[in-house]
Amino acid sequence: MALALYRKYRPKKLDDILGQDTNVALLKSAARQGKIGHAYLFYGPRGTGKTSTARLIAKLLNCEKRKLDLKFGETGEPCNTCLACISVDTQNSFDVIEIDAASNRGIDEIRNLKESIITAPARGSHKIYIIDEAHMLTSAAWNALLKTLEEPPRHAVIILATTEYEKLPPTIISRTQRFLFKRLTKEQLVKKLAHIAKIEHIKIDDDALELIAATSEGSARDAESLLDQAAGWNSHIDAKVIEELTGRVGFRKVHTLASHILKNELAESLAFLRTLSDEGHNMTDFTKDLIHYLRRALTLALNPALEKAYHADFTQEELTSLKSLTPLAERESTASLLRALIRGYSEMRYSPFATIPLEIALVEQLGSKN
């Protein structure tokens, strides 16, 4: 069975962690100085490197080369060649215990952790407990973990990972070193996907790469999984293949409708929506993309300096297309339009008539201007 791309290209060292430069710099500095903490909290969107970074900390703590070669230890990276590093990569290390809190969320699991954490590591110098989806733990489980998290044995490190930081108790948060993992930019994802495609000899168009990156919403894991899926379907991947896989509409179609809307072209807008619906696209996701696109056109019209910030999310061609709409994005009318589209999007998510709320929003907004 072939190894999934997101597993095959999982970061092997801290410098491989994509888009988290501040976190990488802090952890490498701590590793160089031998000051890795006893409790960490990694939080942020899915697929941004939280669990991968936790496993890298496990490597750093038990890497045999780091202990024997002080000069190598100054790199702040694991060697990836010793038995300790390899066992973490293959998930065969007895000293790295991963707990999925989504399915093991009760007090009994935490009691087992408290009993096992006291015992010495099987091979390395440290035992590392990685609790994924930590926000799923029950209140009783948190209370049972509190004292252990504050004062674990010297050989133990506990790492919590979560996508929902706000659900964690303040008493837990205050006992950890906190690291925010940011959503990856479209530009970062496209570069990584292009690199993987080159190594794997996958023929894929730039438009398709950009659509995968946009669909993944900042998650490297989602982007790599979609590339893997597309590669198994067609020998040459273009934007149409990705649209068929995901139901997501490409940039050009979002721009086309946005242009019709801002020009108050109601008939053309409704006809274009009909075409998209007949092609089987996911109209709820399309509306979400349209809202973000029009929002960017408005904010860019109000503050042209934001163009620099948008370079990470758009290619130069896409940014030029977006800028062409800014003269049409009048403040009051575009703000009113966005409010109507947001209401329509909320209704579409729970309506059996997916396109109708969007059509009504456009009729109400554009019809009143004709």
Residue 104: what pLDDT? 79
Residue 255: what pLDDT? 93
What average pLDDT does this structure show over 169-173? 94
**Six-digit token pair at 211?**
């659509």
What average pLDDT does this structure show over 149-165? 93
Residue 369: what pLDDT? 56
Residue 263: what pLDDT? 94
Q: Please report, rounded to a whole number, the percentage of residues in the chain having pLDDT higher than 70.
A: 98
Q: Give pLDDT tens digits for 267-292.
A: 999 999 999 888 888 889 899 999 99
Computed over every residue of the chain, the mean pLDDT equals 91
Residue 188: what pLDDT? 92
Whether the per-residue pLDDT at 129 is higher than 90: the answer is yes
Q: Give pLDDT tens digits for 327-354.
A: 999 999 999 999 999 999 999 888 788 7
Q: Give pLDDT tens digits for 63-113.
A: 999 999 989 999 999 999 999 999 999 999 999 999 998 887 778 888 888
Residue 155: what pLDDT? 95
Please, are residues 305 and 270 in contact by the beta-carbon 8 Å criterion? no
Residue 241: what pLDDT? 87
Record: fold of 5-180:
Rossmann fold (3.40.50)
Confidence class for position 368, pLDDT limits 50, 70, 90: low
What average pLDDT does this structure show over 315-332? 89
Sequence ranges of the domains in the chain: 5-180, 186-246, 251-367
Q: What is the CA radius of gyration of the chain?
A: 24
In CATH, what is the architecture of 251-367?
Up-down Bundle (1.20)
Residue 244: what pLDDT? 81
In CATH, what is the architecture of 186-246?
Orthogonal Bundle (1.10)
Residue 232: what pLDDT? 84
What average pLDDT does this structure show over 251-260? 91
Residue 128: what pLDDT? 96
Q: Give pLDDT tens digits for 172-201.
A: 999 999 999 999 988 899 999 999 999 999
Residue 312: what pLDDT? 72
Residue 287: what pLDDT? 93
Whether the per-residue pLDDT at 296 is higher than 70: the answer is yes
Q: Give pLDDT tens digits for 47-65.
A: 999 999 999 999 999 999 9
